[in-house]
Amino acid sequence: MRAARTVLVVVGVLVMAFGGYVLVTSVSPQRIGGLATWLLGAVILHDAILSPFVVVAGLLLRRAGRSLRAWVLVVVQAAIVAGSVLALVVLPEIAAQRHGQKNPTVLPFDYGTRLLLVEGALLLVVVAVLVIGVVRARRGTVARTSG
């Protein structure tokens, strides 16, 4: 285990060093401030919004039904994470469209509608998985009690 941790730390440090090298050699000094702002925003969105949202959703699900199986919690939390990350990726495009752009071919799609459609499809998949899981669990309970 110690060797694996050492390898992971060394690889992590090397990747960060490579990232720093690419940053210094390919990004102009005038743009580093904007990049730092974006990176700080990403950290804040993740640590202050996304992570607490997933934790609170898990706690509420546990409290809502103490008999919830672990797979139900995993499915719902995975959907929350996927939907949240998708929204965090698409919201800047929606905001950029609202501000307008000089070249209309840069953001050619209706990102708001597409985001809602994908989030709705994700919700339908989660509901389908949960329904199938509940039906299978009930069939298993019926088969065990009758057999």
Contact yes or no for 79/122 (Cβ under 8 A):
yes
Q: pTM of the prediction?
A: 0.64
pLDDT tens readout for residues 28-50:
888 888 888 988 988 888 889 88
Give the Cα separation of 144 and 146 in Å (integer).
6
Question: pLDDT band at 133, cuts 50/70/90?
Answer: confident
Alpha carbon 65 to chain centroid, angstroms: 24
Burial of 107 (0-12, 13-18, 19+ CB in 10 A): middle
65-104: pLDDT as tens digits: 666 677 887 888 889 889 988 988 888 888 888 887 778 7
What is the mean pLDDT of the segment spanning 99-115?
84
Average pLDDT over residues 99-113: 83
At residue 100, what is the residue type?
G
Residues in the chain: 147
- Residue 41 to residues 90, 91, 100, 106, 145, Cα–Cα distance (Å): 15, 13, 22, 23, 54
Assign 144 a pLDDT band (cuts: 50, 70, 90). low
Single-letter amino acid code for the residue at 33: G
20-39 burial: b if 16+ Cβ within 10 Å, else e:
eeeeeeeeeeeeeeeeeeee
Res 132: pLDDT: 87
| Mean pLDDT in residue range 39-64 | 83
